Amino acid sequence: MKIKRVTPHSVSYPEPNDSNNTRYLTFCRIEAEDGTVGWGEAISQFPDSTRATARIIEAMGEAIVGADPMENVAIWRRLHEGSWWYGYRGGPASFAISAIDIALWDLKGKLLGQPVVNLIGGAYRERLPAIASTHAFDESLEVEAEKHGRYVRSDGYRGVKVGMGKRGKAHLGYEIARDVEFVRLLREAIGPDALLIMDRGQSLVWTRAEAIRRTNAFEEYGLYWIEEPMEPTDIAGFQSLRSQVKCMIGTGEREWNARGFAEVISSGVADVIGCDPGRAEGITGSLKVIELVEAADIWFNAHAWSSAVVSAASLALSASTPRCLLFELKPIENPMQHELVDEPFSQTDGWISVPRRPGLGVEVKESVLEKYRFD
């Protein structure tokens, strides 16, 4: 069996979990000679990077047409090595490789009649604890705390992760006293046993002193971990924070490949490594990150905050390792999770099961990609 066609599909869509902010993704459709189709995705995120990613997928696609999809890891290596001049340490080349690689794993699984989790070594577990991962955007802290409380009390999620510095009127991440008051209200709303994670977000920067003050104050309310509290290059800042807090520290969301993750892990500043297969060179690249995480005895966390395609890849990866604590789901229905596929991912009583159908276990509706098409 040979690869017949490689096609990018870019979309823009309103994300209800982010105050209806427009988000961008680049999908990759790989068709085999017999008509079997595999789907991949890159979290290309912005208009310019999305356009660039689509063009690179087209060029890389021309290079792999006629190749055997069973040799997907060898294809990954060729693309990785061939993009050195324009993708060293990351960028749109890594987005393109991510989308192509995920699509190849999906295609391979479908051709073999096997789920991706089996192809990467098998599931260490069949289900994962699920938390609601979203943003606060209402001006009222009480309204936001109660909303997140319902995710736990009514919907059954095992906890919540809240991103700060986002659009909307919540204004979290800017005033320490306001942030601490929100976390206090949030703990009351979700109860004493639910997991609570706070994420600085990427649209604001804290000083080291601010990061320490916030984290220490959040810890009074049972903070599980603080995510991305410093800029990824501020290793000294992470080390300063590490020496003065008790909760776990998560980072890695903006790394592109195993080399970058290895540098973060070797610094010893992180307890939880956030990895997105839609950025970190796909399933193949993420497996290399998991090897590093396991060797360091820290934790792997999939940053699966895009479409059902990356969620499926992330579930397979998360289930394959004992070093995964939980899985994040967007609690508000949204186009790229609930319109895109016939059977959207969901949790039951705080647990989400690993896909067991061939490939990624999802079938993409091309009509939805056309509906949200971005050129």
Average pLDDT, the chain: 97
Instruction: Note the helical H segments in 14-69.
Output: 47-64
Q: Does position 276 have pLDDT exceeding 90, yes or no?
A: yes
pTM passes above 0.85: yes
Give mean pLDDT, residues 27-38: 98
What pLDDT is stored for residue 203 in this prediction?
78
pLDDT tens string 114-172: 999 999 999 999 999 999 999 999 999 999 999 999 999 999 999 999 999 888 899 99
**Is the CA virtual torsion 108, 112, 116, 120 positive or negative?**
negative
Q: Does position 55 have pLDDT exceeding 90, yes or no?
A: yes
Task: Categorize the per-residue pLDDT at 193 as very low, low, confident or very high, splitting at 50, 70 and 90.
Answer: very high
Give mean pLDDT, residues 31-46: 98
Q: Does position 202 have pLDDT exceeding 80, yes or no?
A: no
| Closest among 113, 121, 115, 182 to 320, alpha carbons compared | 121
| Closest among 211, 204, 201 to 176, alpha carbons compared | 211
For the chain, what percentages of helix, strand and coil (3-state, to nearest 5) are there?
45, 20, 35
What pLDDT is stored for residue 201 in this prediction?
84
First to last CA, the chain: 31
Q: For residue 251, list its beta bridge partners.
A: 273
What pLDDT is stored for residue 146 in this prediction?
98
Q: How far is CA 99 from CA 21, 57, 283, 348, 364, in A?
A: 23, 8, 9, 29, 14
- For residue 186, give the amino acid letter: L
What pLDDT is stored for residue 295 in this prediction?
98
Number of Cβ atoms within 10 Å of the Cβ of 228:
20
Pairing of strands 195-199, 225-227: parallel
Q: How far apart are CA 330 and CA 350, in angstroms?
A: 13
Q: Report the alpha-carbon angle 120-266-322, nearest 5.
A: 35
| Closest among 199, 189, 253 to 223, alpha carbons compared | 199
**Could you state, in order of their start, the residue ranges of all structural domains in the chain?**
3-114+364-371, 118-353
Tell me yes or no: is domain 3-114+364-371 CATH 2.160.10.10.
Answer: no
Task: Categorize the per-residue pLDDT at 298 as very low, low, confident or very high, splitting at 50, 70 and 90.
Answer: very high
Which CATH number describes the domain made up of 118-353?
3.20.20.120
What pLDDT is stored for residue 304 in this prediction?
87
How would DSSP label each residue in 61-79? Answer: HHHHTTS-GGGHHHHHHHH
Instruction: Give the max Cα distance, the chain.
Output: 61
What pLDDT is stored for residue 166 in this prediction?
83
Q: Does position 9 have pLDDT exceeding 90, yes or no?
A: yes
Task: Categorize the per-residue pLDDT at 69 as very low, low, confident or very high, splitting at 50, 70 and 90.
Answer: very high
What pLDDT is stored for residue 111 in this prediction?
98
What pLDDT is stored for residue 338 in this prediction?
97
Task: Categorize the per-residue pLDDT at 199 as very low, low, confident or very high, splitting at 50, 70 and 90.
Answer: very high
Q: How far apart are CA 331 and CA 169, in angstroms?
A: 20
Q: Does position 332 have pLDDT exceeding 90, yes or no?
A: yes
| 143 CB-side CA count, 13 A | 8
Backbone angles phi, psi at 281, to 5 degrees: 65, 40
